[in-house]
DNA sequence: GTCTATAAGCCGATAGAC
DNA sequence: GTCTATCGGCTTATAGAC
C-alpha cells in the first residue's frame, strides 16, 4: 500500500528542502538528517561527503529533466516547419511539469536558482560538465530560425531566457496563484506567458 | 596622496568580495578580516554582528543605486513622450555603471544576485523594507505605456525581466567576454542586448 | 580603536559496535 | 545498513589588557 522510501531518498528530499531554504553552506548535515529522520552517519555511508550529496541531488532530477527536454525538442524538429514557440515549449514545459507535478519539485527549482548564483568551482564543474550540452543543443535548434541574429547576440538572449525561467519558477516571484485557480491552470498560464515573452524577446530586432 | 581607507570600509570591501564568491554562510568573518588585514574583533566592534555587517554592505551601495535609478526614471518621465526603452534604461544603466565604474561594484552585483536566491527572513525583510518601493515605482511607470496588457500579465512579464537581469548580472551565464574586448565594453554590450530583449518581451502581443 | 585570549558551540567526517 | 561516540577543526561573539 504505502510506497517505500529508502534512507537515501529521504536524505535527498530533506536536503532539497533545506538547501532550498538556507543554501548549501547554510544548511548542515545535522539539520538534513534530523529532518529526514535518519542517523547523521547515514549521509557519509550513502553519499561519501556533503559535496557528493549535493551532486546526487542534482543528478536525481536533471537526468530526467534533460531527457524530457531533448525528447520534446526532437519532436518539434521533426515537424515540417519547426516553430520557435514549439522549441521554447520543449525547454519550458518539462521544467514546469517537474516543478508542479513531482513531490519536492518546487524546492528543487529553488535549489537550481541557488546553483546559478553559486560560483564555487566544484558544483559548477559538475553541472556544466554533465548538463551544459543541453543549452548548446537548444541554441543549435533555434539558430536557423533566427538567421538575422549573430551568434553572440543569440547566446546573450538565450542566457536571459534561462535566467528569466529559473527565477520565475523559484517561488519568490511576484506572481502568486490567484485563489480559485487550480495549480495546473496556473502552470499552463505561466508557460503561455513565458513562451510569449521569450519568443518576442528572442525575435527583437537587432 | 593616497586615499585613506578606514577599517570599516576595508572590512566592507573584503566582505563584498568574499560573500560574492562563497555566499553569506560560506564565507567566515575570519576570512573577511584576514583579507581586510584587520583584527577579527574589529567586525563586532564596528558592526555588532555578522548579520548587521551584511545589512551595512547593502546599504553602502543600494542607497546610491536607488537614488540614481529614481533620478533617471524621473528624467525619462519628464519627457513629452516617455519611452519604454528610457524607463528600462533608468533601471539597468545605474546598475551597470555601479558594476563597471566603482571599485568592487562587480562583486556587489554578484552579492545582490545571491540575495535574490536567499529566502532567509532577516536579509529579505531588510531589503524589501528599505528598497522594495523601487520596483513598484517602476511598475507604475511602465503600466501606462502598455495599456493593452492586463495587470496580471504585466506582473508576469516584470517578473521575467527582473529574473533575466539578475541572472545576467551575475557572471554565471554562458556568454564569456571575447578576448580582446574590455570588461567595460562587454558590460555595455550586455546592457544594450538586455534592454532590446526586455522591451520586445514586454511588448509581446497578448 | 585595536589587540590577545578564550568561551561556547556547531561542523563534517570517521571508527567501531551491533 | 544503522547506530553511538568522538575527533579535530572551525564558527561567532566577547571579556579585558593596552
Instruction: Say which CATH number the domain at A88 has.
Output: 1.10.357.10
Query: Which residue's alpha carbon is at the shortest distance from the C1' of C15?
Result: A41
Kindly report the bases of strand D lying within 7 A of a protein C-beta atom: 1-6, 10-16
Over residues B170-202, the pLDDT tens digits come to 765 556 778 898 877 887 888 889 999 999 999
Q: Which residue in B has a C-alpha nearest to residue A174's C-alpha?
A: B159
Closest nucleotide over all strands to B47 (CA to C1'): D13
Instruction: Record the cell numbers describing residue A41, joined without a space.
Output: 552517519
B198 to chain A, any CB pair closer than 8 A? The answer is: yes
CB-based contact A119 B152, cutoff 8 Å: no
Q: Is residue A28 part of a domain?
A: no
DSSP state of B144: G
Chain B: closest CA distance from residue A193 (Å): 7
Residue A106 domain-assigned?
yes
- Banded model confidence at residue B18, pLDDT cuts 50, 70, 90: very high
Spacing of B44 CA from C5 C1' in Å: 16
pLDDT above 80: residue B161: yes
Cβ of B20 within 8 Å of Cβ of A166? The answer is: no
B47: cell is 558592526
Q: Quick check: is B24 in a domain? A: no
CA end-to-end span of chain B: 59
Quickly state the pLDDT bin for A23 (edges 50, 70, 90). Answer: very high
Task: Give the span between the Cα atoms of B157 and B159, in whole angstroms.
Answer: 5
Kindly state whether residue B85 falls inside one of the protein's structural domains.
yes
Greater confidence (A118 vs B13) lies with B13
Distance from CA of A135 to the nearest CA of B (A): 9
Q: Which of B60, B131, B67, B58 is nearest to B94 (CA)?
A: B67
Residue B155: inside a domain, yes or no? yes
Distance of alpha carbon B157 from alpha carbon A195, whole angstroms: 11
pLDDT digits (tens, 9 = 90+) for A38-96: 999 999 999 999 999 999 999 999 999 999 999 999 999 999 999 999 999 999 999 98
Mean of the pLDDT values across residues A25-48? 98
Minimum-distance nucleotide, CA of A42 to C1': D2
**What is the average pLDDT across A25-29?**
98
- A161 to chain B: which residues are within 8 Å by CB? 164
Say if residue A172's pLDDT is above 50. no
For the stretch A106-147, pLDDT in tens is 899 999 989 988 877 889 899 999 999 998 999 999 999 999
Q: Map grid coordinates 535609478 to a residue.
A: B69
Strand D–CB B30 distance below 7 A: yes
How far, in Å, CA of B81 to CA of B74, rounded? 13
Instruction: Tell me, yes or no, whether A43 lies in a domain.
Output: no
- Asked if strand D comes closer than 7 Å to B31 Cβ, the answer is yes
Integer Cα distance of B40 and B31 in angstroms? 9
Q: What total number of domains does chain B contain?
A: 1
- The Cα–Cα gap between A4 and A7 comes to 10
Give the span between the Cα atoms of A48 and A50, in whole angstroms.
7
Does residue A151 fall inside a structural domain? yes
Q: Straight-line distance from CA A113 to C1' D18, in Å?
A: 49
User: What does the pLDDT look like over B37-69, one tens digit per residue?
Assistant: 999 999 999 999 999 999 999 999 999 999 999
**Is A65 inside any structural domain?**
yes
Triad B73, B165, B182: Cα angle to 5°: 95
For the CA of B116 and the C1' of C1, the distance in angstroms is: 35
- Which pLDDT value is given to residue A176? 67
Exposed, middle or buried, A172 (CB in 10 Å: 0-12/13-18/19+)? Answer: middle
pLDDT-wise least confident of B44-48, B71-75, B90-94, B164-168: B164-168
Measured CA to CA, the distance from residue B27 to residue B49 in angstroms comes to: 14
Q: What CA–CA distance (Å, rounded) separates A174 from B153? A: 11
* Confidence band of A100 (pLDDT split at 50, 70, 90): confident
Range of A66's domain?
59-203
pLDDT number for residue B84? 96
- Give the Å distances, CA to CA, from A115 to A58, A99, B167: 10, 16, 11
Burial class (CB in 10 A: 0-12, 13-18, 19+), A100: middle
**Contact: A193, B156; criterion CB under 8 Å:** yes
Amino acid at each position: 500500500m504505502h510506497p517505500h522510501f529508502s534512507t537515501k531518498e529521504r536524505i535527498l528530499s530533506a536536503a532539497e528542502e533545506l538547501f532550498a531554504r538556507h543554501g548549501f553552506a547554510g544548511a548542515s548535515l545535522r539539520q538534513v538528517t534530523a529532518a529526514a529522520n535518519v542517523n547523521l552517519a547515514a549521509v557519509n555511508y550513502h553519499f561519501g561527503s556533503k559535496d557528493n550529496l549535493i551532486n546526487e541531488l542534482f543528478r536525481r532530477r536533471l537526468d530526467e529533466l534533460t531527457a524530457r527536454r531533448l525528447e520534446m525538442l526532437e519532436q518539434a524538429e521533426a515537424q515540417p516547419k519547426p516553430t520557435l514557440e514549439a522549441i521554447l515549449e520543449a525547454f519550458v514545459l518539462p521544467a514546469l511539469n517537474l516543478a508542479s507535478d513531482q513531490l519536492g519539485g518546487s524546492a528543487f527549482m529553488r535549489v537550481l536558482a541557488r546553483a546559478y548564483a553559486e560560483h564555487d568551482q566544484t558544483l559548477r564543474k559538475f553541472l556544466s560538465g554533465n548538463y551544459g550540452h543541453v543549452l548548446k543543443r537548444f541554441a543549435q535548434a533555434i539558430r536557423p530560425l533566427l538567421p538575422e541574429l549573430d551568434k553572440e547576440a543569440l547566446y546573450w538572449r538565450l542566457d536571459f531566457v534561462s535566467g528569466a525561467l529559473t527565477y520565475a519558477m523559484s517561488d519568490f516571484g511576484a506572481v502568486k496563484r490567484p485563489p480559485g485557480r487550480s495549480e495546473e491552470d496556473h502552470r499552463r498560464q505561466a508557460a503561455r506567458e513565458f513562451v510569449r515573452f521569450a519568443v518576442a524577446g528572442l525575435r527583437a530586432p537587432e
